[in-house]
Amino acid sequence: MAVQRGRTPRPWRAAVLVKAHAGARWMAAFDDHPLAVTGPDKLAALRDACAAEGLAFGVWGEPRGVAPGGGDLAGQASAVAGYYCADVEPYSDFDIDPSAAYADAFWQAFRDHGGLEAGVSLVPLPSGLDPFGGAGLRAWLKPVRYVEPQCY
């Protein structure tokens, strides 16, 4: 897979990225704050509030679980926000299957539910990449336009 580099960088713009889901649950399942994400309607309200302040808006979430968790929610969130980033980390707290089949099923559900532009956030260390193996990592990266490294 070749990396394509743009000739002219996009101008910088302030943006807000909101965590939309963890697996197959909207974030409101974990947070009772009035702004917690309950679904597409809440995301639309947050997007509109950001736009009114001149801020770009996007969402991110965590694929989780034994079955591809959250591809449907990720697609719905992306359809509202216009941008989605999958936080793909192979650590126990994230409970993600690193296989290519899991990634393919997640992205298929993403597309089936209106998913638009997407990126992947990875930990660029052996512990963050090796568990996926070549095929699993390629499957996560295949449909995305951006890779956003997590550099702690």
Nearest to 26 by CA among 11, 45, 41, 4: 41
Share of the chain above pLDDT 90, in %: 63
The confidence score (pLDDT) of residue 106 equals 93
The confidence score (pLDDT) of residue 7 equals 62
The confidence score (pLDDT) of residue 1 equals 53
pLDDT tens digits, one per residue of 99-127? 899 999 999 999 999 998 999 999 999 98
CA distance 101 to 14: 36
- pTM confidence score: 0.87
The whole-chain average pLDDT of the chain stands at 89
User: Which amino acid is present at 64?
Assistant: R
- In the predicted structure, residue 48 carries a pLDDT above the cut 70: yes
pLDDT tens digits, one per residue of 53-104? 999 999 999 998 766 668 999 999 999 999 999 999 888 778 788 889 999 9
Token pair 């679904």 is at which residue?
Answer: 39
CA quadruple 93, 98, 102, 106: dihedral sign: positive
Question: Do the Cβ atoms of 38 and 28 come closer than 8 Å?
Answer: yes
Q: Which is higher by pLDDT, 92 or 130?
A: 130
The confidence score (pLDDT) of residue 96 equals 82
Q: Which domains does the chain have, with CATH numbers?
A: 15-149 (3.20.20.80)
Question: Do the Cβ atoms of 91 and 122 come closer than 8 Å?
Answer: no
Nearest to 111 by CA among 142, 86, 135, 78: 78
The confidence score (pLDDT) of residue 97 equals 81
- In the predicted structure, residue 130 carries a pLDDT above the cut 60: yes
pLDDT tens digits, one per residue of 10-38? 677 789 999 999 999 999 999 999 999 99
Q: Which two tokens stand for residue 92?
A: 């126990």
